């Protein structure tokens, strides 16, 4: 037995309550290491700061994601030589015992070649060791490669593939035209994509907030009014609102608004059996 690695049967593992799995519910796992990534000017630092404020204050991150375990946050901008950074970082984390450590940006934490796995891996391993020793979540703010808009979010990160493989929770920001879209990726929980965020005024300050997805207009897509008028023209008998909704694949509210418009313009009339074109 002395030569075996330490092990524990699966049935003896301690169960973790669902609400204890998260530092920020659905956004960042408890004690997770990972990346906040994106191209320049994609608000990566704004997102990292919003996470910091959420954990420190208990307020929802992005106005939506609630922190489960609020506590101290350490935001660290590394400027010194690597060995000095490591020593000071470890000593500061040990002294403050933060819930969350944010390193923004990663490029200031090192003097290595980010494209060489053999140089990147030891630094990431050091941060993993720091996470385990002090039970702290670690966020690295890191850039995406230029021209990587068509690559998967994690594969678009600049440098070695070690970055993508290292993270337990990863957040990626991308711009699609004027829209800023967040993708959330977890190692041990479902991932989420297509979360639209935007900088919003909060008093005299700016903060990232989740917003409704923009409505994308299709040049040749018919309007609700056009769809209903076409459906009534194709029908041999009057149609009810329910029939129009099913035929046009639009909501009751939009059906009612379109019918009101057509009725006001004298193009549709209502009968006991439903609606029909006024020209009939």
Alpha carbons 15 and 79: distance in angstroms, whole number: 41
Check residue 68 and give its pLDDT.
94
The answer to whether the Cα torsion of 110, 112, 168, 50 is positive or negative is positive
Residue 276's SS3 state is strand
**Residue ranges matching CATH 3.40.50.300 in the chain:** 17-210
Check residue 81 and give its pLDDT.
54
224-277 CATH pick, 1.10.3720.10, 3.30.70.100, 1.10.10.10, 3.10.129.10: 1.10.10.10
Residue that has been written with the tokens 């993993």 in this structure: 128
Alpha carbons 234 and 224: distance in angstroms, whole number: 15
Cβ(177)–Cβ(161) below 8 Å: no
Check residue 210 and give its pLDDT.
92
Tokens describing residue 251:
């909501």
Check residue 85 and give its pLDDT.
64
Check residue 167 and give its pLDDT.
93
What class, spelled out in words, does domain 17-210 have in CATH? alpha beta
pLDDT single digits (tens) 215-227: 655 556 678 888 8
Check residue 171 and give its pLDDT.
95
The count of other CB atoms within 10 Å of the CB of residue 141 is 24
Residue 8's SS3 state is coil
User: Which residues of the chain fall short of a pLDDT of 70?
Assistant: 1-3, 5, 7, 10-20, 77-85, 147-151, 202, 215-221
Which among 19, 15, 16, 27 is positioned nearest to 51, based on CA atoms?
Answer: 27
**Residue ranges matching CATH 1.10.10.10 in the chain:** 224-277
């Amino acid at each position: 037995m002395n030569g075996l690695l330490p092990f524990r049967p699966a049935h003896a593992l301690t169960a973790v309550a669902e609400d204890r799995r998260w530092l920020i519910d659905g956004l960042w796992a408890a004690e997770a290491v990972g990346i906040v990534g994106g191209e320049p000017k994609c608000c990566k630092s704004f997102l990292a700061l919003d996470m910091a404020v959420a954990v420190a204050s208990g307020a929802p991150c992005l106005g939506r994601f609630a922190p489960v375990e609020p506590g101290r946050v350490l935001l660290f901008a590394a400027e010194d030589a690597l060995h000095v950074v490591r020593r000071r970082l470890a000593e500061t984390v040990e002294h403050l015992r933060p819930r969350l450590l944010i390193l923004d940006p990663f490029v200031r934490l090192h003097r290595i070649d980010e494209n060489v796995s053999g140089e990147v891996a030891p630094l990431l391993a050091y941060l993993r060791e720091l996470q385990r020793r002090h039970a702290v979540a670690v966020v690295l703010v890191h850039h995406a490669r230029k021209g990587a808009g068509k690559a998967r979010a994690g594969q678009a990160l600049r440098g070695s593939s070690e970055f993508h493989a290292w993270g337990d929770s990863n957040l990626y920001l991308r711009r699609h035209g004027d829209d800023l879209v967040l993708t959330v990726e977890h190692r041990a929980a479902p991932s989420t994509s297509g979360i639209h965020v935007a900088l919003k005024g909060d008093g005299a300050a700016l903060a990232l907030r989740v917003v409704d997805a923009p409505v994308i207009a299709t040049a040749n897509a018919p309007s609700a009014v056009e769809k209903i008028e076409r459906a009534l023209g194709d029908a041999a008998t009057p149609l009810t609102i329910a029939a129009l909704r099913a035929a046009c694949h639009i909501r009751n509210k939009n059906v009612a608004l379109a019918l009101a418009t057509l009725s006001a313009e004298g193009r549709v009339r209502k009968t006991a059996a439903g609606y029909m074109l006024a020209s009939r």
